[in-house]
Structures are given as structure tokens and as C-alpha cells.
Structure 1
Amino acid sequence: MSQINKTACAGTLESSDIMIFVEKDGKGIEVDLKSTVGKQFGDQIKAVIIKTLTDLGATDVKVIANDRGALDCTIKARVQAAYYRAIDCADYKRGA
């Protein structure tokens, strides 16, 4: 299991995208979500974020997400990118 070394982000605030910030936290996986479609899809967005981090082996992570209607595949990709940046993953930097 990798340790978060720094706060990192991925994504944009453009339409159909999501900005994800991840930082170290000692309280499990915590998600703070702001979304233009939060009333309809907020639970689903949070579930995708949590599942993605769980699949990556993350345990103590705070996520700040600002969603603009991103699809699940985009949410997953942004979470993965932010997490890999936060743990300084060498494979991610090489593009593997």
C-alpha cells in the first residue's frame, strides 16, 4: 500500500469534467462533493470515487471533488491520476 506524500489534483472545471483533490487524512476515505448534478447523481459520484480509491488500496484519503457533470469513466480516471500524483508513483510518471 502506498502512502500519500502530498496534496495532488487532476481534472478541470470545464463542463462534463470533474476536479479532484486528494490529500492525506487519518479518518478513512472522506469525500467532500460539490456538483451541478449532485441532487440527481451525488450518491453515484461518491460511490465511484470511493470504489476507485478502494481498488487502488487507499485507506486514509480526503477527497475534494468539484463536479461539472462528468461521466463515471472520467471520474475514475481523474481520481486515479490525482492519487498517483499524490503518492509520487514512478510508473504513472513514466506513463506505464
Structure 2
Amino acid sequence: MKITKTAVVGNVESNDLMIIVSPGEGLTLNIESSVYEQFGSSIEAIIREELAKAEIRDAHIQVEDKGAFDFTIRARLKTAIRRAQ
């Protein structure tokens, strides 16, 4: 799939996250999280897994996390990808 426009999903309240998906060359991922030291690798793995499932290879992904659960990360990213196509 191809990202053709920028999409913003979510918000920066407690237990949620905001994801911005925009077109790019190659895959770049920028994660800012209040729990990055504890869960940063898990957050990144979830995002990369969902991008692989959607066959996204060229995009810029910006994540601002405030302690979101795994299922919230997946849902927000899937929605952002759909909106950005």
C-alpha cells in the first residue's frame, strides 16, 4: 500500500497516543513516549509489525505516546494508515 497524504489520529491524553502518518521515502519512525525506557522496544515492534502487515515501506511515522496499551497502538496506527491512503 502507498501513503499518499498526511493523516493524524488520536490525542495526547493519558493512556492514549497520537500518530501522524505522512508520505516519505523509506521508512522513518520517530517515537516520543512518557514510558519509552520501559516499553519503547515493544511500542516500536508493534508499529513495525502493523506496517509490515499493511505492506507500508515508504512513510514517515511520528508517535507521541502517553502510556497507550498495545491494542490502542494497533488501532490508532491502522486507522492512520487507512486515512493516509
TM bucket normalised to smaller: over 0.9
Partner of 2:13: 14
Q: Secondary structure at the match of 2:20?
A: strand
Unaligned runs of 5+ in 2: none
Provide the aligned length of Structure 1 versus Structure 2: 85
Partner AA of 2:84 in structure 1:
A
Which deviations, in whole Å up to 9, do the C-alpha atoms of 1:25-80 show, x marking residues without a partner? 112x2210000000110111011011111101111111000000001100000000
Partner of 1:40: 38
Identical pairs, percent: 38
Superposed structure 1 runs of 4+ greater than 6 Å apart: none
Higher relative contact order structure (alpha carbons within 8 Å, sequence separation ≥ 6) = 2
Could you state the TM-score of these two structures normalised by the residue count of structure 2? Answer: 0.95
Over the aligned positions, Cα root-mean-square deviation in angstroms equals 0.8
Name the CA distance, whole Å, in 2 between partners of 1:58 and 1:16. 26
Name the CA distance, whole Å, in 1 between partners of 2:75 and 2:14. 16
> Considering only CA atoms, is the larger Rg found in Structure 1 or Structure 2?
1
